[in-house]
């Protein structure tokens, strides 16, 4: 390179005070990674610079010569620092112009996209650039204002061009090439479009797969829920069917209980089919108008509790003895009153194995048998069943005083005697013939009253402690009735029967006798027999002597 060119290069950093001198330094772009804030000089930026310079630089910056090599230099040594913005300049060397014109070179300092000032060359060829026909372009970086400057010099205006279109043909430096490579060509853009299309297709395909999987999962969920719903409905129908079946079975068992009670079933095995033998109980109000054991009474609750199957059979026998006492024996000497129970199903409530319902006891032929009116007793029941649908316990609740008033009306008498259940309660006067015996064989007579002596012809001294009731039996005594009577006594149950017996003189008479067990310390020790009707007769004539109803 000629000496004039070297002098021009050396004089390039010597700028007026308005633009501080910039140290020149050749930089290999391939070894430098410029930061994002570094400014590069491109064709568009040069055009912008020219427009900003205006007409004042048109005569100076003419047509640039065809140059061979461009070298990108920097005025900042901090190549790797992202915060510092590097100020670069391009040195254009044209060997042909240098050989023909001597000091012909062009130096362009690029600092940013904005031109700050244009320093025209001095007339004597000196100035900021040091060349004869040199022009300084001051360009400010956006990061630090006019801290640095750019210089563009040329020897004469003929070597300059009116625009910078020839820069497109300039051979790019390595750094410029790297920057250009970062902007993909049109083929890369098409590839990206294809990639976008492929990615969209893949996304659509994946979306369809996800939708399909979601629909399959949703279908499986709907099917599962449908099956679960059907299973629950089936279980619900099964439970409802089982509940109805259980309710029907329990109601049938309950009706069977009342049927056995109203028919006075004596066979224990039939009762055991519907009652739980191990723990059955029955709770009733205290009923002084019929026989019961004193040990069953719970005074604090004014109720009595019957335990076991034998206890409920005994209570059933007591109920039948009461109802049969309403018969007018003078008109219907062998008459029996029938009664039945009715369960009001409309008001029935069943929860699990427990039933609550209303019941009605009513006589069917009491008026026909000589009573003044029919009996009707209403109440509530509560019944518990076990898993085999057997009755564990039953409670019957009703108005005792109301039923006692009906009994008085039905018999047509105002008198009402309490049925004895202990030996102590028998120590009182009786209006009917009375006899007391032991509860065990041979049923020895313990006590009689005066009316019994008149009816039989035996005195108390003749029978008390010496004989039993068999002394009254004769050839005409009904053995079948006697057997039933004695069977009830053996089981310690209340009993009643119409028997034909003989007096001490051998005269026949018929008596309707009621036998009530007497207990002491929860054990039946005695029986008391009360004759409510008797009549004397011979083969030709029957004479009724009394008809005493005991309620």
Domain covering 263-411, topology: Nuclear Transport Factor 2; Chain: A, (3.10.450)
Q: List, as own/partner pairs, every contact residues 41-44 make where C-beta atoms lie below 8 angstroms and the sequence separation is at least 24, other chains included.
A: 41/88, 41/90, 41/108, 41/110, 43/164, 43/165, 43/167, 43/168
Coil/strand/helix, residue 279 = coil
Cα gap 138→140, rounded to integer Å: 7
C-beta of residue 413 within 8 angstroms of C-beta of residue 326: no
Q: Which helix (H) or strand (E) holds 391?
A: strand 391-398
Q: Average per-residue pLDDT in the chain?
A: 73
Closest CA to 531 of 445, 462, 448, 440: 448
What b-and-e string marks burial along 353-392, b requiring 16 or more CB atoms within 10 Å of the CB?
eebebebebebeebeebbbeebbebebebebbbeeeebbb
C-beta of residue 456 within 8 angstroms of C-beta of residue 445: no
Higher-confidence position of 179 and 270: 270
Residue 537, pLDDT score: 65
Domain covering 424-547, topology: Beta-Lactamase (3.30.450)
Q: Report DSSP state, residue 267.
A: -
Phi first, then psi, for residue 449 (nearest 5°) are -110, 180
On the question of pLDDT at 53 being above 60, the answer is no
Q: Where are the alpha helices (DSSP H) in 75-173?
A: 95-101
- The mean pLDDT value for 390-413 works out to 92
Render pLDDT for 135-177 as a digit per residue (tens, 0 to 9). 444 444 433 433 333 334 444 444 444 444 444 444 444 444 4
- Pairing between β-strand 297-298 and β-strand 150-153 as defined by DSSP bridges: unpaired
On the question of pLDDT at 59 being above 50, the answer is no
Closest CA to 528 of 404, 408, 411, 430: 430
Residue 276, pLDDT score: 93
Q: Give the contacts of 433 (CB within 8 A, at least 6 positions apart).
A: 449, 451, 452, 454, 455, 456, 511, 530, 531, 534
Return the minimum-mean-pLDDT range out of 91-95, 278-282, 287-291, 494-498.
Answer: 91-95
Cα gap 514→329, rounded to integer Å: 13
Taking the chain, what is the end-to-end CA distance rounded to the nearest angstrom? Answer: 156
Indicate the pLDDT class of residue 367, thresholds 50, 70 and 90.
very high
Render pLDDT for 209-252 as a digit per residue (tens, 0 to 9). 999 999 999 999 999 999 999 998 888 888 888 888 888 899 99
- Domain spans of the chain, in order of start: 3-183, 263-411, 424-547
Residue 167, pLDDT score: 42
Residue 538, pLDDT score: 55
- The mean pLDDT value for 117-146 works out to 42
């Amino acid at each position: 390179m000629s000496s004039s060119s070297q002098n021009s290069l050396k004089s390039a950093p010597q700028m007026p005070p308005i633009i501080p001198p910039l140290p020149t330094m050749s930089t290999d772009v391939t070894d430098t990674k410029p930061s994002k804030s570094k400014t590069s000089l491109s064709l568009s930026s040069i055009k912008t610079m020219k427009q900003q310079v205006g007409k004042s630089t048109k005569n100076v910056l003419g047509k640039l010569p065809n140059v061979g090599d461009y070298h990108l230099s920097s005025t900042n040594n901090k190549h790797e620092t992202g915060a510092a913005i590097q100020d670069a300049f391009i040195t254009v060397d044209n060997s042909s112009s240098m050989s023909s014109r001597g000091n012909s070179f062009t130096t362009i300092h690029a600092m940013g996209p904005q031109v700050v000032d244009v320093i025209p060359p001095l007339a004597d060829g000196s100035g900021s650039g040091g060349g004869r026909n040199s022009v300084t372009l001051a360009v400010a970086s956006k990061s630090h204002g006019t801290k640095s400057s750019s210089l563009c010099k040329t020897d004469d205006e003929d070597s300059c061009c009116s625009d910078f279109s020839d820069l497109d043909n300039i051979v790019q430096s390595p750094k410029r090439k790297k920057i250009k490579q970062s902007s993909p060509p049109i083929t890369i853009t098409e590839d990206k479009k294809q990639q976008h299309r492929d990615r969209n297709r893949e996304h659509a395909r994946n979306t369809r797969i996800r939708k399909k999987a979601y629909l399959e999962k949703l279908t499986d969920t709907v099917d599962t829920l449908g099956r679960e719903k059907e299973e629950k409905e089936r279980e619900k129908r099964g439970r409802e069917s089982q509940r109805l079946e259980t309710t029907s079975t329990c109601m049938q068992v309950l009706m069977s209980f009342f049927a056995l009670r109203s028919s006075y079933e004596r066979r224990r095995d039939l009762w055991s089919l519907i009652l739980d033998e191990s723990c059955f109980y029955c709770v009733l109000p205290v009923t002084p108008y019929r026989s019961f054991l004193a040990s069953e009474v719970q005074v604090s609750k004014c109720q009595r509790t019957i335990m076991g199957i034998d206890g409920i059979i005994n209570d059933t026998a007591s109920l039948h003895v009461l109802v049969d006492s309403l018969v007018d024996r003078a008109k219907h000497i062998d008459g029996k009153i029938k009664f039945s129970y009715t369960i009001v199903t409309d008001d029935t409530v069943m929860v699990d194995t427990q039933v609550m319902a209303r019941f009605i006891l009513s006589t069917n032929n009491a008026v026909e048998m000589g009573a003044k009116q029919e009996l009707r007793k209403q109440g509530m029941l509560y019944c518990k069943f076990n898993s085999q649908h057997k009755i564990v316990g039953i409670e019957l609740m009703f108005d005792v005083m109301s039923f006692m008033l009906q009994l008085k009306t039905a018999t047509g008498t105002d008198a009402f005697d309490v049925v004895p259940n202990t030996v102590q309660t028998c120590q009182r006067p009786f209006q009917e013939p009375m006899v007391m015996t032991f509860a065990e064989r041979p049923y020895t007579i313990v006590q009689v009253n005066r009316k019994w002596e008149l009816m039989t012809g035996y005195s108390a001294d003749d029978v008390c402690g010496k004989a039993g009731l068999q002394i009254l039996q004769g050839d005409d005594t009904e053995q079948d009735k006697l057997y039933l009577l004695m069977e009830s006594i053996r089981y310690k149950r209340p009993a009643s029967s119409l028997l034909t017996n003989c007096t001490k003189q051998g005269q026949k008479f018929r008596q309707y006798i009621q036998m009530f067990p007497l207990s002491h310390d929860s054990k039946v020790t005695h029986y008391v027999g009360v004759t409510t009707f008797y009549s004397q007769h011979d083969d030709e004539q029957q004479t009724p002597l009394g008809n005493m109803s005991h309620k």
